[in-house]
Structure 1
Amino acid sequence: MLFENFPPPVGAVTTRQELAQSLGLASSQSWTGGIIAVDRARQVLVFSDPAEGVKHGYTFDGWVPDGDDFGPLYLYTGAGPTGHQKLSGANAPLLTLAEKGRDLHLFVADGKVPGTGTKYQRYVGQMVMDRQPYEERWNVDREGALRRVYVFRMRPVDQQVVVHEQDLMPPAPRTTSLLIPATVNTATFTYAEQHSTDEATLGWQEPRVVRRREGALRTAFEERLVALGHEVGTYQLQIRGERGVFTTDLFDATDKVLFEAKSSSSRHAIREAVGQLMDYRRHISAPGLRCAVLLPERPNDDLQNFLQSVGIASVYRDGDDFAGYPLV
């Protein structure tokens, strides 16, 4: 359906050609990618097609539960079917929205025009990039090579957006664990001008501070392990029946130790770490696997006894070094 003005009503079904005409463009022939920047209209259009993405090993697209409870979250795998993806080139428009004064709009493939191969595009709505605009994920490309992909995180401007069942990220059909190089997600782009609500009101600030503290602790310990000549990685888990991806903290492949880092040595933080480790280790096949919590300071004696009782070690900062390591 051709609409006189852009954007079309939320939920409307159209085609790329009709969208091009609505934007005053002569043709949509160059609209072959998933991320289209329309300079003259100051718009970026994202076309998500999870079924087509699976052919390229993309299994991360769709609406997912948001652990921070900030409202609906749509994940979208960036461009680049082989080799490591880049944040430049075709993916750049998603990271330069505010800089270039562009709006972001999401469409999802929804069937085909009868008798043709042209796909219908259903308009989801106007979006903004999350405060953490992307996640680093890994998969195997069509040539069988392990590669890095970027999964972009989008949120609707209208929090009352209708989430269609078919747009949810499908549950994983089986449990898989993938050992990948240890990397720390340092995506710290801020799009303050796209949000009219104060950051503290939305609750953005506290989770970001916690992640930064955990990230700094994890990075310092990773550097310590690497300096000792250890091979360090992390596990990316997809669990049968679950939507989304779970990523562990550090895995010392040399000593076969899985570490869960926390920004606090409190009882609550340690209980959470123990639960995560006990869950993760069920899905990791590594002979002789041991588990440890990585903490910013020594936990009290009762918490030390608790960790010992469940067979989990503790490693914590001690000045410029770490106590409790190497594990005995």
Structure 2
Amino acid sequence: MHRRVLRRSGVPAALIALAIGLTACSSSTSELEEQDRVAQGNAAPAESPQVSDPIGGEIIPVPGSVRAVVATGDRVAAQVENPPSLELGRVDGTSWSAEDSVPLPAGAGTASTAHDGTVLVPHGDGVVLVSPDGGARELSGLGPVSAAALTLDGRLLTGTPGGEIVVRDADGAEHHRIDGLTSVDEISVSGDGSVTALSRPDTVIASVDLEADHAGPLLRAGRGAGLLDELGEGSVIASDTVGGTLLVYSTSPVRLHQQFPVASAPWAVAEDPTRQVVWVASTGTNTIQAYDLGDGVGMLRADIPTVRQPDSLAVTKSGTVVVGSADGAGLHLLRPTLTEPAS
């Protein structure tokens, strides 16, 4: 899918020029701050309309509000709060089979998933790791961790609220620190091994060389980036929550390839390789949309009402779209049919 997304003939020349220009002048966060003084960054999910009317699929109740949803194959982990836990289950079509519940520390950060199926949850003194078979272990004593990821060779990457990425072995022992960001709010490892980090306070996306001392190159990610998700083997997608757009980047090095408007206040994003689209959850409208990126511009293929406050989103290997409600409405499991692209 990523080859279709990054096809040169479909990329607007103005966006390529913008990406090249920003890469050339973006060697440090301080330089980025000088580029413009427009209020930006510090994105958070927008408050949703009180009324929602989910269409299609099934609503699955889960305890508390859903903070994050991740999928590996057809196994889904829903991170819930009050009390904090990972609710693990198998998805078959729009049916949910609960498997286990893993308690999480109070104040835990947002869950993510690695290529080997491990679910990682950062917290105030380390990381909880849940293996594909449901076994959980906690690495503590690492200090505050704001984001976590596993490299393809099994190294643990942890982000700090102060903007450092720490390269560790599989047992948490520190090897190396990389600075240069204001904060590390998300770390993405693509299928080709390239590493990308998001700093939400100043809405910056950065390439990360694990052998370097500083992150970079850095690019401004819209007016207020929300979440990242992997796209193919060498690309990521990001929601520009404040600017109301979807951003598509290559990752080695980071370079902007597409940017286009989507529904109000996009937050969660997820690749759907079964349908070759990208799903975007809009908390401003309580809807999810599917966009086909193949022609260089986002083509809307579905617009579906879902649960209130859809702050999280994932797609299973077989194509079930799972939406999590941060308002206590549970999980919305759908098997959507896409509209045909306009001729």
When normalised by structure 1's length, the TM-score is: 0.25
Richer in strand (by share): 2
* Larger CA Rg, structure 1 vs 2: 1
Richer in helix (by share): 1
When normalised by structure 2's length, the TM-score is: 0.24
